[in-house]
Chain A
Amino acid sequence: MKIKMKTLVVWINLMAVVLAVSIYAQEQNQKAIIKVEGLYCPFCSYGLEKQVKKIEGFKNVQINIKEGTAEIEFAPGVKVPEKAILTAVEDAGFDLDGVQWLNKGRKK
């Protein structure tokens, strides 16, 4: 009986972990790394940050001026057309050289 109880507790804990991981995974933001040509200084790069904030579902952005990239996070489940990213980059005065999605399309 003792063994059965222990097994039951283990199973419950395991299921709880699986459930938590599953919920966490479903709520992860979508991430895109974009390559931007023309980034050269912090004052100018702030414009890019401001433009990508206008994209629906925007959550966060981390710009790497040195490498000419920006890592953008969007809310899960929101469809983000690449054209919106292209427009944001061009409105900031830069050129888009590529978009790499890290975990696109996760839904709640």
Chain B
Amino acid sequence: MKGLPEAIGARLPRRDAADKLAGAARYTDDLSRPGMLHAAILGSPWPSARILGIDTAAARALPGVRAVLTGADLPDRRWGLFVYDETPLAAGVVRYVGEPVAAVAAADLATARAAAALIEVDYEELTPVLSIEAALEDGAVPVHREFGSYEKRPDLGFERVNEIARQEFSEGDVEAAWADCDVIVEGVYQVPSQSHVYLEPVSAIAEFDRAGKLTVRSANQSVNKVQATLSRALDLPMSKIRVVTPAVGGAFGGKSGVTVQPLVAHLARVTGRPVKLTLTREEDFMAMRRRHPAVVRVRTGAKADGTLIARDLDIVYDGGAYAEDSPAVLGFGLLMARGPYAIPHCRLRGRAVYTNRLRAAGFRGYGNPQVTFATEAQIDELADRLGLDPVELRLKNAVEAGGRWIGGQTITSCGLRACLTEARDTSGWAGKRRDGGIGAGGKRRGVGVSAFAHICGLLGTSATVRLLEDGTAALAHSAVDLGQGAEAALAQICAGALDIDVDRVDSAPADSGAAPYNWSTGGSRVTYMVGRAVMQAADAVRQQIARHAAETFECAPGDIEIRPGGRAGIVGVPERELSFGEISLRAHYRTGGPIIGSGALVYDGEAFDYKEAVIRNYPFERVGTYVFGAHVVEVEVDTVTGKVEILRAWAAHDVGRAINPTSVEGQILGGFVQGAGYALLEEMLWEDGQPVNPSMMDYKVFGALDLPLDIHPIIVEEPEPSGPFGAKGIGEPPLVGAAPAIANAVAHATGLRLRTIPMTPERVLDALAAAAER
């Protein structure tokens, strides 16, 4: 790494780790405010019903109760990300089991919960829409009868009842291209609803001061999104709202929009007291968010030599009862549906629909895991039919830097080939591939591969860097740290840009009242986007430092160099230099004023080329720059029980530049394991609209004994020209590649293609039994 500052690529421990290890880190529910009340909610027992009346008398009569709110008590002010359909409490109609119908604030939690249980709601049950098919059938009941009257930003082209959005990305001439294909594979793939299961249930504390200013402390991924939505929900100017984020106990997309903040703010407003609401785990499962389940129909064709020619993909995402992120999840899934391959003829279409189940929303991967599970399975199906090695087939078609993504954007950096070859070579692919199906005691082994892409970019962000009087730096940005290490990575970028020790960079937690705007911690964008803003801010500081030094030494600013360790001096004259501290004192007390630099940008990469591609109803003109990865996974399938065990995995990711390799590896390992859960274990289930497994007893995630230690993160660095020190994002991609690589390994072990995940023991055994009968 020639020429890189010391802070870049350093395996530095996170600064938040010490408090977390001591139990001293404060999460929202750990906080208390003087006079604080505690809130509880009452959820709907029905997936679809009209609220005929709510009797709150008994609840109000309970000693200690300070307020009881129902939907009828709140102003009709809806919010959303694209479709403004959400309210803090059900307004007249309930649309999923668990939807908050009433809320209580009381002196203590036990009283609040007891009072909530005393609320009597009179419902008229309505016919629920419980599946994608039911949502789209002729004569389907609309989940939102008022849909036409909702505000939409922008209007995303729904055509049928219950469609939230309908989008398309197409290039070439798919229908004509099939004739050029020697082999065509076709299949329907089904992917489940996965729950985020961040370990910290959703929590918020709201309070108004006497001047009418609202402060909300909550677990979230964007103080700015929460601030903006609160402004709309409460009809308050943003200048009257401060949003603060204590430590966040995981989010993975599930805390990306507002959760319970508007409801808690309403309770604080009516009681005039600080109010805290922390959901129980069961409430969180039932009333928050989940990954979109989807049905994916795909057809892919290739030449006999393996050249990919055409793909036709149609996906329907179940968005649940409220639109939330669905239009963007759909669009992003379609943008990823060609895969990281140069397929000339593609028709990629999809819809997101309403159903009477929990709202679906962003979850690590954002529509990509659904699509990539299907398309990467299909690449292996093609390899099978063509008698080609799956890695070779992928390498043959892999995109490269300088090539085009679907939609026309130029790929500016691409480590895909390196990811594939590194994963292949370190895993001993060839030998394992030869030994497929071998095993003892009713077990069979197999190995599978996946290649995939994602983006980092999206929307606006900003940062400031101030030089403190002693020459250390104060960095401010609003990239909420969800545990992934955003704070550390950005501090390292700042330290790198100023070429100082990272201990000489302070950064404050996200606070809408103190730090500049950032759209969100999401979309794998923080290191890349906020990092770029930090680079700009630090660069402005460097220029001012250079000017002060030049004035002091009476030379041109161009003759000044910034030296490692916080010094500025004349090029070629080692003894002529000033420390940042000396320069900052000069700026603070003599001339120029304190040194402060700012950076701000909206993602500014190449836009889609609307002449080359058919792009319908996509909400953005440009999304981000592309990142790449490849996984190899070895599994063992137990033919007695159908259980799939992961034996070893190799996860190679092109991150442009690893700012903190330990943090990058942490993202790779954690993302892979969540993806393994998606592949094999996790599925939120409903029966007649009732959640079947909304608890950690019944909805399982993997524990330490369920996974091997042999999961090997492989970092590939193909620097991105626009990235800070070349860095790109890593948050989501590690989840995306897991399920298809595991499914391909299961296919290799058993000869069977499972097109539905999770590949539970029962599904695998069913497939084995069906094959035995054939």
The yes or no verdict on A and B being binding partners is no
